[in-house]
Amino acid sequence: MDLLNTLVDKGLRRELPSREEALAVLATSDDDLLDVVAAAGKVRRQWFGRRVKLNYLVNLKSGLCPEDCSYCSQRLGSKAEILKYTWLKPDEASQAAAAGVAGGAKRVCLVASGRGPTDRDVDRVAQTIAAVKEQNEGVEVCACLGLLSDGQAERLRGAGADAYNHNLNTSEATYADITKTHTYADRVDTVRKAHAAGLSACSGLIAGMGEKDEDLVDVVFSLRELDPDSVPVNFLIPFEGTPLAKEWNLTPQRCLRILAMVRFVCPDVEVRIAGGREVHLRSMQPLALHLANSIFLGDYLTSEGQAGKADLDMIADAGFEVEGADQVTLPRHRADAAGCDSHGESGGCGPCGSAGSEPVAGAEPAEARTDLVAVRRRGAGTDLAPNA
């Protein structure tokens, strides 16, 4: 296909595709799917070889959030029967992080529900960062605490945080459809604060809430403009008890096309398959490794992922290798621009969402696979061993 040849050439040159080209990737047929994966895979291998970076989530504070994000099981008014607990102590969080590091994770993502941290919360997270780094030599730490106030990003950087995650979630035009308690501009401001403070910026999206192709392209182009080091791509986990519980709009094929589009638009950026991969990609997860160079190991914030050993086996069976702690994640030109070795390893946290209100034209609704959504009952905040 001329389209794919053009996109590969642009990806190898780090040249931005046109909006029309990005939309065309999402509109390709299932007959062309393997060609799309192969083309985007060439771009992925150019910048990241066959390495897969493992990241591990630690939910520092679960549930009880005052924000009304429609996709989130921790939202205000959520009826989802998730684990709910207040702040983990630093040693508890460090123990949880150690399980992920032992499983092969080189980055730990410390996440807390809420609108944003108070100054006291920043002090608390600073102590947790210190505990995690003391127990796990060489580990990278990403914080994901919501909207940041002036000076907080600098304080986190001073405390040893390597990165900060805050997802854009969806296009600016449709953001108010999913959240009323804060704005798209608020999220952009926080990403910029993190970047300005010298943190490795991480910002992504989620697909699967009935959004239009145009919304997906809009948010990915906005992310390209913000220039984060890492773009996590989440697929909606339709939790019972949330407003989007009935939104089962994704197929494995559509997920692969979305990941390919992200790779073409953001060729030299760490693209992570984040929340929902087990639910929506299912047996097609190994193919997605040809598009993304990063995944989360084990469980997510409030849902269970597949067994950590299954992740490691999948990576090996697909012919990829786990990225070592001594390897720099990003291509040299990006790592050098960051001016810091730790920014050579980018990361991201937290499933957030992308939205809209119209289904894809001509698409048949996917069958609801509620059997694949398992609420997390182990690890942080419990007495049971974590999945790593």
Known binding site for [4Fe-4S] cluster: residues? 65, 69, 72
**250 vs 321: CA distance, rounded Å:** 28
Catalytic annotation, pick one of 75, 107, 124, 142:
142
β-strand partners of 232? 272
What does the block give as tokens for 52? Answer: 């897969």
Catalytic annotation, pick one of 72, 255, 266, 349:
72
Show binding-site residues for [2Fe-2S] cluster: 109, 142, 202, 272
| Residue 119 identity (one-letter amino acid) | D
Active-site annotation holds for 272: yes
- At 209, give phi and psi (nearest 5°): -105, 20
Active-site annotation holds for 142: yes
Active-site annotation holds for 266: no
Catalytic annotation, pick one of 44, 109, 255, 277:
109
Residue 59's Cβ-count burial label (10 Å; 0-12, 13-18, 19+) is buried
Active-site annotation holds for 349: no
Q: What are the DSSP calls for 321-348, one per residue?
A: EEPPTTS--S-HHHHHHHTSGGGGS---
Q: Which of 34, 35, 26, 29 is nearest to 4 (CA)?
A: 35
Catalytic annotation, pick one of 44, 51, 69, 224:
69
Active-site annotation holds for 69: yes
Catalytic annotation, pick one of 51, 124, 202, 254:
202
Q: Which of 296, 256, 358, 249 is nearest to 25 (CA)?
A: 256
Catalytic annotation, pick one of 65, 144, 255, 352:
65
Show binding-site residues: 65, 69, 72, 109, 142, 202, 272
**320 vs 37: CA distance, rounded Å:** 15
Residues with active-site annotation:
65, 69, 72, 109, 142, 202, 272
